[in-house]
Structure 1
Amino acid sequence: MNPSDRYEVVVQGKPQGPFSLDELRAMKLRPTDFVKPVGHPEFKELREIETLSKALNIAHQSTQPQYFASMDMRLLSTAIDYFFAFCGYAVLAAIYLGGTANTPTRIPTLLMGLALVPIFKFVACVILEGSRKQASFGKILIGVKVTDEQGKPIGYGKAATRNLAKLVGVITLGIGFLSGFFDRRQQCLHDKIAGTLVIKDRLI
């Protein structure tokens, strides 16, 4: 944490600030007051932000995720991810068409090349969900991210496990995905296998 950082605080239900660290000290905030560094996407309880709570002499206390992405949000993010993956394939297809003569094999080759779309999506999801972003392109655009069951980043290994486990949903003819509708935390089968959650920003 940089002493020059600025913070916003929810006061009487409304975000106020930005405030400096010294100004926060003077405000005598409670552990349950909502705070966020300027530029961050969501407010958190002060006690949840380890470095800031320590600077303000407040006991740090992690909180389990409470706000989960609904299935329609997850479906939308998946559709966006496939769109970006298809765009990547379209670029390669254009390069291929520009470099080949008009032969009978062009159309079959392009059709077989469509198999690259889910591969592109898989690679992008593993890289992005395992990164500090914690979210694929689609999840970033709709404001959700992937965490472990304690709300922490999952890393590349767990991201790979999560996305490989989606094959179980395909093998079960979609039942593995639909199971998320009946789960309190909206966990699909691949999330349960990998020990992950898809969470959204707090409603504040």
Structure 2
Amino acid sequence: MYETSATVEYAGFWIRLVAWVIDAFVLAIPNWIISAVFMGGTALATDLENNPYAMMAAMSGSIGLTSLINLLYKSILESSSWQATIGKKALNLKVTDEQGHRISFLRSLGRTLATFISAFILFIGYIMAAFSSRKQALHDKIASTLVVKTR
């Protein structure tokens, strides 16, 4: 358990949802730029309407790169000294292991990848945070992590 004499306050479903929305806005900027470059750059070289393969290649490249950026954004920031994405930091939340320590990049990467499972099962993995005693979503349980409020 958490190695501290202070009371730990776990971050619940709604505050984590707000943090996710903030992060979605933060990530929308590079994602939009990447999509514009891939789709606009390809449109200059070829007529996308007449070449479905070029369209699919541009979309695949765009989706692949934005997915990688989203994955690295969460994994790097949550394993950094911040222990939080920009959205979590704005709301005074941080990600820890179950003892309250900073998590490694690999654990953070695993946690981020596990969010796909939480989403894939009709977002039930996320909703679990509303009913868990330590407010853990499925991906938190898989990675043995907590999201806690900071002072």
Is the contact between residue 82 and residue 121 of structure 1 (CA under 8 Å) also seen in structure 2?
no
Instruction: Name the structure 1 match of 2:97.
Output: 148
C-alpha separation between the residues in 2 aligned to 1:104 and 1:163?
37
In the TM superposition, what are the counterparts of 1:100-111 in structure 2 within 5 Å? 101=44, 103-105=46-48, 108=55, 111=59
Is the contact between residue 162 and residue 193 of structure 1 (CA under 8 Å) also seen in structure 2?
yes
In the TM superposition, what are the counterparts of 1:155-194 in structure 2 within 5 Å? 155-194=104-143
Instruction: Name the structure 2 match of 1:88.
Output: 30
TM (norm. structure 1) is 0.60
Gap regions ≥5 residues in structure 2:
none
TM (norm. structure 2) is 0.79
Q: Deviation of residue 67 (structure 1)? A: 0.5
The Cα RMSD (Å) is 2.5
Q: Deviation of residue 102 (structure 1)? A: 7.3
Aligned-residue identity in percent: 32
Q: Deviation of residue 114 (structure 1)? A: 4.2
- Distance change >3 Å, CA 63–CA 132, structure 1 → 2: same
Instruction: Name the structure 1 match of 2:20.
Output: 78
CA offset digits 1:8-33 (Å, max 9, x no partner): xxxxxxxxxxxxxxxxxxxxxxxxxx
Is the contact between residue 71 and residue 181 of structure 1 (CA under 8 Å) also seen in structure 2?
yes
Q: Deviation of residue 83 (structure 1)? A: 2.0
Instruction: Name the structure 1 match of 2:85.
Output: 136
Instruction: Name the structure 1 match of 2:70.
Output: 121
Gap regions ≥5 residues in structure 1:
1-60
The one-letter code sitting in structure 1 at the alignment partner of 2:95 is: V
The one-letter code sitting in structure 2 at the alignment partner of 1:155 is: S
- Distance change >3 Å, CA 180–CA 122, structure 1 → 2: same
The higher radius of gyration belongs to 1
Is the contact between residue 129 and residue 145 of structure 1 (CA under 8 Å) also seen in structure 2?
yes
